[in-house]
Amino acid sequence: SGDESYQNRDLEKASQLVAKHLYDLKVQPSTLLPKQVGNMYTASLYAALASVVHNKHSTLGGQRVVMFSYGSGLTSTMFSFKLNEGQHPFSLSNIVSVLDIPRKLESRHVVSPEKFVETLRLMEHRYGAKDFKTSKDATLLAPGTFYLTQVDSMYRRYYAKKPEGSAAAASTNGPLVNGY
């Protein structure tokens, strides 16, 4: 019966063997970042896309990609698009170069579970909050990264940019406010 098939390990193993070729061809190239980084919620879908572009960029021109995402609350989204090789700076090979996934994976920092939980608690505390300043510690950020420095009493967000080089000074244009 149908219910028995859900519990049948032999059927499950046979199904996996039949599907393995298609999985390796269509899904596996999208798993690099998700396997290395873990769940990123919404960003997971786009990390999978970045993985496909990284792994298959030379064969993606003219190909259609289907993206599917589901979340809690019985909601899901599916959409597709066609990838064209494009011209620089939007060529697939340049996108791979700019993404530089191997270097970014190698530059990750190990933190203790306690430090991770402490950071998450701080983020939860500040979610939707106003009138606070951040620590401005940008030591773990890549050069050129913009980061939040303050949210004022009117919820205006202030940003700074980590200098590009070790001797570079902070941005001479002043702090960015709300992205401007």
The predicted structure's pLDDT at residue 137: 83
The predicted structure's pLDDT at residue 16: 94
DSSP state of 85: -
The predicted structure's pLDDT at residue 7: 87
Residue whose entry in the numeric block shows the structure tokens 């941005």: 171
Residue 43 in contact with residue 34, Cβ under 8 Å?
no
The predicted structure's pLDDT at residue 73: 75
The predicted structure's pLDDT at residue 176: 47
The predicted structure's pLDDT at residue 170: 43
Instruction: Say if pTM beats, i.e. exceeds, 0.75.
Output: no
The predicted structure's pLDDT at residue 113: 95
First to last CA, the chain: 63
The predicted structure's pLDDT at residue 1: 63
Spans of the chain below 50 pLDDT: 167-180
Q: Which domains does the chain have, with CATH numbers?
A: 31-106 (3.40.47.10), 130-177 (no CATH)
Please tell me whether residue 76 adopts helix, strand or coil conformation: strand
Q: How many CB atoms lie within 10 A of CB 49?
A: 16
Residues 115, 116, 119, CA angle at the centre, nearest 5°? Answer: 85
